[in-house]
Amino acid sequence: MLSKVYSCAVIGLDGAIVEVEVDTANGLPSFVVVGLPDAAVQESCERVQAAIRNAGFYFPSKRLTVNLAPAALRKEGPAYDLPIALGVLACAGQILPESFEGALVMGELSLDGSVRHVRGVLPR
């Protein structure tokens, strides 16, 4: 199954829309983020897994691929945690994709599932 959540990247003083696509497939459990992510975005895999479980949801034991498009744009910081988590939950059928349709989502997740603020909200 595929889900899409919209987020934003900061380029200088401007914001650029980033489409966070999450796909689940059968196979050995894995969690891969592609689309030119920096180290903080790569680490989001661990934060998202812990946050989903500690918030009372089920983390799917499937092969997860997260694409941050456009791929040519560098993605930095933890602001993609929340959109990735929403995409995973939508793919797993635990939340309705319509609940965040038309929204721009950004936020860092703590391990207990709460959302922390992120920098650069005004340019976004």
How far apart are alpha carbons 94 and 76 in whole angstroms? 28
Domain boundaries, the chain: 2-116
| pLDDT attached to residue 85 | 98
- Report d(CA 50, CA 87) in Å as an integer: 15
pLDDT value at residue 72? 92
Q: Supply the pLDDT for residue 120.
A: 76
* C-beta neighbour count of 89 within 10 angstroms: 25
What pTM, to 2 d.p., does this model score?
0.94
Other beta carbons within 10 angstroms of residue 93's beta carbon come to 13
**pLDDT of the chain along its 124 residues, tens only?**
899 999 999 888 888 999 999 999 999 999 999 999 999 999 999 999 999 999 999 999 999 999 999 999 999 999 999 999 999 999 999 999 999 999 999 999 999 999 998 887 776 6
Check if CATH label 3.30.470.10 holds for domain 2-116. no
Distance in angstroms (rounded) separating the CA atoms of residues 22 and 57: 17
